[in-house]
Amino acid sequence: FSEQGTVLDAKVIYDRESGRSRGFGFVTYGSAEEVNNAISNLDGVDLDGRQIRVTVAESKPRRQF
């Protein structure tokens, strides 16, 4: 991912109970251009035998109580 631009943050999401990776994560880049580079160059690429999907993350709507 760092080949596409400056990675400001990267998080792998883990299962709370087992501690195993849930198979996805989030990468934060320094600019929109770097985000677009990552999407166009990495979406659909094979990584360790698995095809990865790279998209812009959408925030979940917050629950209102």
What is residue 60's predicted lDDT score, i.e. its pLDDT?
80
Contact (CB, 8 A) for 29 and 54: no
Q: Average model confidence (pLDDT) for the chain? A: 93
Phi first, then psi, for residue 12 (nearest 5°) are -100, 135
Does pLDDT of 64 surpass 80? Answer: no
Question: In CATH, what class is 2-51?
Answer: alpha beta
Note the pTM of the prediction, 2 decimals: 0.79
Q: Which residue has the higher pLDDT, 60 or 8?
A: 8
Cβ 47 vs Cβ 63: under 8 Å: no
Given a cut of 80, is residue 65 above it in pLDDT? Answer: no
Tell me the pLDDT tens digit for each residue of 32-63.
999 999 999 999 999 999 999 999 998 888 87
Which of these, 33, 64, 32, 39, lies nearest to 53 by C-alpha position? 39
Q: How far apart are CA 16 and CA 57, in angstroms?
A: 21
Residue ranges per domain, the chain?
Answer: 2-51
Q: What is the pLDDT of residue 58?
A: 86
